[in-house]
Amino acid sequence: MTWTLIRGVVSGCIMFGVPLLYATLGEVIGQRAGMVNLGLEGILLVGASVGFAVTAETGNPFLGVAIAVLAGGVFNMLYAYLAVTRRANQLASGLALMFLGIGLSALIGKAYIGKRIVGLARYQIPGLAQLPWVTKTMFSYDVLVYLSVPVAVLVWWALFRTRWGLSLRTVGESPTAAYAAGRRVDLLRYQAQFLNGCLAGLAGAHLSLALAMAWTEGMTGGRGFIAVALVIFSRWHPLRAIVGAVLFGGAVTLQLQLQAQGTGISPFLLNMIPYVLTLGVLVLWAGSRRSAAPGGLGRVYYGED
């Protein structure tokens, strides 16, 4: 039983961690530009519902993923308009976007409840299938899983090795300094939020097209808020987010495996595992100088009129 549990956790932590990683990478970009987006949960749901609807109608899961990515980016422009152009409170704007996303996704997905699709195909890593301790589900993942680490490296390179990334990080630290250096603060923040929405839409599509292969209302289960906590865990660094996503994916898998094996622990307590871990991360890093957030995070920038 113990070996079965270990294999199940190893197999599942990657699959369940990938949507968290994509959402976290998007939020890292957004917060590096000085904006906290609490609407991730709504964007994830929009991406999941749109991706599932397109796949159900066309039979093409890759088209569903592409449309979900675009839908997430466009939907997040509502938040960018409120927080950047209208200079509304970022936290209130994000929460409004979340509730809108919950309702919109329920409307989009209403006709597809209970419908099954052929989701993203899985491909096994060559050479690992012959190992005696490997099951059919281990090291057999869809293309979005294999792309997750390269995407994280790409985000790291864009943020820390390009002039665009330097400008974006400057905006997050001090919008006034970025403006004085000739950077367009509003434009950079819009770009950051569009990328944030695209990656969150991708995360939602992976949930509905690779994990569940079905649509149910509220299927994200708070993953948007966990992604925000993972940004703190990773100290606003894309590569550290990989470790955090796998860790939280393992927590989700562990509670599912324990329930499946009929452990005597209350299922309500098991369901709490990922969220207790989230609180633990916040307690661990809160107030740490090493985990200092971007200087301008959450602050409204009124421009230099």
Residue-by-residue DSSP string for 183-236? --HHHHHHHHHHHHHHHHHHHHHHIIIIISSS--TTTTTTHHHHHHHHHHHTTT
Beta bridge partners of 82: none
pTM listed for this prediction = 0.90
Higher-pLDDT residue of 102, 12: 102
- What DSSP element (H or E) covers 151? helix 143-160
Task: HSE, CB side, 13 Å, CA atoms: give it for residue 142.
Answer: 22
In order of their start, the domains of the chain are: 2-113+142-291 (1.10.3470)
pLDDT > 70? residue 86? yes
Residue with the bigger pLDDT between 208 and 283: it is 208
Average pLDDT of span 22-46 = 95
Rounded CA-CA distance 119/144 in Å is 12
5 has pLDDT over 60? no
Find the helix packing angle between 143-160 and 163-173, rounded to 10°. 70
